[in-house]
Structure 1
Amino acid sequence: MTIETISPAQAKILVAQGAALIDIRERDEHARENIPEAHLLSLSAIENGDRLGPFDPFDTVIFHCQSGMRTTQNAQKLADAVDPAKVLLLAGGLDAWKKDGQEILADKSQPLPLMRQVQIAAGTLVLAGVVLGFAVNPAFFLLSGFVGAGLVFAGISGFCGMARLLEKMPWNKR
């Protein structure tokens, strides 16, 4: 089954006509920036069995994420979560919505999304390990290797120790 993608302008019209707009990003991403009409049902919640509805075959549900990648990769999972409703994907996600000049709610006082924090921390540690390895002592290259091994482990296992540590930081407590 192929699931259609629609433009932000088309989505805005359908939402005005009663379609449900669902944001599948995580809670921290949604808190920082979201589409006013969107309801939050994160992909991880859907994977844990959470559902919206009930829906009937005449309902329309539009899913969106940040760039459209997560919705495209998980289209069938999303369709199953709102079955038997008609499912559409917002092409380009929130990024396209903003580029199209549509309204968003932004709260820059919210911390950066956790995965962006992990990327910043990991990149900083790798860069520091390389610079210190060349400038001070080659043993600092182990820092870069340790971070790389942690990222590989996180990718394979789904457990990211750095993310768990960062979520306990005071700036992420709300």
Structure 2
Amino acid sequence: MLRPSLRRYLSTVKWSLLPLVVLLAALLVRGGGFGAAVSLVVIALASSIGPAWFRRAAITVTPSELAVTGLLRTRRVPRDAVGSIVTAALPRTHQNSRSLAHLYVLDRGGRRIARMTGARWVEDDMRRLMATLGVETHKLGRLASARALAGRYPHAVGLLERYPVLAGALVVVPAVAAIFAISMEMSS
């Protein structure tokens, strides 16, 4: 059984979480009752969901199946359905950022069965999974973006990975809405 590394995750995301921590601290201290409530709810959700995922998440290979466990469910796939593995070094946020290893387990039709990102999984576990599955491995080296990987393997990369601006908008838009709501609450 392979599990993601919380230590690896914290070391790769620590600086990107700083603006969120500053915003939550500002809401807690200066946001009044509404700001404190929003801040405490976000802190409670983050401190419960994140660790729960790391405790639960796993990739298990048995002689008959590959099981991928996430936060809510375990997806089981017959081991003979595994077609290939694709590895690539992808930048974290933009083309000039530090690249991290990524591994994608694909079925015979090229659809993703499992994914191991360098922000959460250590390379030793990636190598162990490749050796255990023993299927054809395509090593692509460093790519400019997840969109470049999607050009070669369209079903391996999800929409939010392919378009990180969309993922950013899903964080920024609610944050701006919360700031706007809090400023309206404080001005009345």
- More strand by percentage: 2
What's the TM-score, normalizing by structure 1?
0.30
What's the TM-score, normalizing by structure 2?
0.28
